[in-house]
Amino acid sequence: MPLSPPDREGLLAGVTVLDLASVGPAARCTRLLADYGAEVVKIGPVPGHGVDPIRPPAYAYSGSRWCSRLSIDLKDRAGRAAFLALVGRADVVVESFRPGVMDRLDLGYEALRSVNPGIILCSTTGYGQDGPRASWAGHDINYLAVGGFLSASEPGGDGGPPLAGATIADAAGGGMHAALAVMAALIGRAAGGSGVHLDVSIADGVLWLTSLAVDEHLATGEEVGFGHDIISGRYACYGTYRAADGGWLAVGAIEPKFYRELCHRLGCPQWVDHQLDDAAQAQIRADFRAAFATRDRAAWVEALAPYDTCVSPVQSVPEVVRDPQYAARGALVEAVLDGTDEGGADPARFRQVGPVLAGMLSVEGPVALRPQSVSDADRLLAAAGLAVDEVAALRDREVVA
C-alpha cells in the first residue's frame, strides 16, 4: 500500500517524501516537491521529548499545504522501526541535521537502503557532509558571504557588504538545489538506476549562483566584484534611480537598442553613443538622476516600461501583492486554516503565494490548511504496514503522536 493518497495529482504524483526538517532550505525543498504533486510527510519529534523544533507560524512555508504530518521519537528503538517502515514505502527522505547525526541515530543511508534499496536520501546542510567547514553552524547570510555573493553586491552606506532582502541562499542555493537534485535522482532511478545519497551543500549552491563571476576570475585573473562589469554597477545603463516622489526605478538597458530608447525617452540623447564609455559614466549617471528626479515613479513607469527600455518599478512587498501582473497570473491564492492551534494566534483566513513555478499544481478555490497539531500518524503507519494495536501501543508510550 503506498503512503500517498490515491487522489493526489501533479507531475510528481505517486512520489512520497519523508521530510525531517521543520524550517530552512530542506523545508523549502519539500515545499517545491509538494507543489509539484509529491506526497510530503512532515515528521517531527514527539512534543515534550527532547528539544522541540522551531515551529514557524501557520502561514509560513505556504502553511504546509497538501502535506501530511506525524511525530516520531527517532531515539527510541520502536520509533526508529516505525520510521523505517515508512521508509520502506517512500521514495525520498529529506533531512537537515548536522553531518553524522543520521548515522548516530542508526538511520544513515545504508540503514535506509537496507529496507528500501531505491530510497533517495537528500541531506541538506550549510557546507556539505565533509570539508573543513562541515561542522560550522550558519544561516543565509553566512552562505552568501563565503560563496562570493555579498562581495559582488553593491556596498552599503558604510562601505560594507549589504544584507540581502530575501533568503537567497536558503531558497535557491539550498531549497531549489535540493529539489532539483531529488528530481534528477528520481529520473535516474526510473531509468533503471538505484537510490542515492544526495549531499546538498547550501554554500555550494551559492557558489553556483555566483559562478559567472567566479569563472571569469578563474579564466582571466580579473578581480571580479561590484563595479566590474555591466551587471555589477560599472555602467549607468544598469542600476536604480530615485523618482521625484521618492520611489525607485530599476534600469536594465543592457542591449544597445534598449539603451538608445532609454536615452531618447529620458531626454538624454547626447549619451546614446557612450553606453560603455568609462570616462563618461559619472556624467551619464548624473544626467539620468536629474531626469528621473523630474517625475514621480508611476509617471516614469508609464512613459518608459512599455517601450523597450527595460525599466520597472522597485516595489515594496505590499505593492507586490497588489500587482496586476501577479494577479493576472494567479500567483496569490486564498488559504483557510481549518481550526487553530493552542492559543489561537494564527489568522483563520489569509492569502499566500501559490504554486507559481512552471508545471506546478494549479489552485481552484481556497486552499484548506490544517493546524500543525493535527496528526496523520494512524493513516500513515497503517499504510506502512503497522497493525492498529501496534500503532496504539506506540501512542501509549508516546513514541509517536
CB 293 within 8 Å of CB 242: yes
User: Does the active-site annotation cover 274?
Assistant: no
Helix residue ranges, H only, 275-347:
281-292, 297-304, 317-320, 324-328
Identify the active-site residue in 170, 204, 287, 346. 170
* Residue type present at position 69: R
> d(Cα 299, Cα 294) in Å, to the nearest integer?
10
User: Does the active-site annotation cover 170?
Assistant: yes
DSSP state of 176: I
How far is residue 257 from each of residues 13, 273, 278, 302, measured CA to CA in Å?
A: 46, 11, 19, 19
CB 262 within 8 Å of CB 310: yes
Identify the active-site residue in 52, 130, 139, 338. 139
> d(Cα 3, Cα 214) in Å, to the nearest integer?
44
**What three-state secondary structure class fits 311?**
strand
How far is residue 116 from each of residues 68, 85, 119, 190, 248, measured CA to CA in Å?
A: 21, 9, 5, 15, 54
> d(Cα 354, Cα 11) in Å, to the nearest integer?
16
Q: Which residues are catalytic?
A: 139, 170
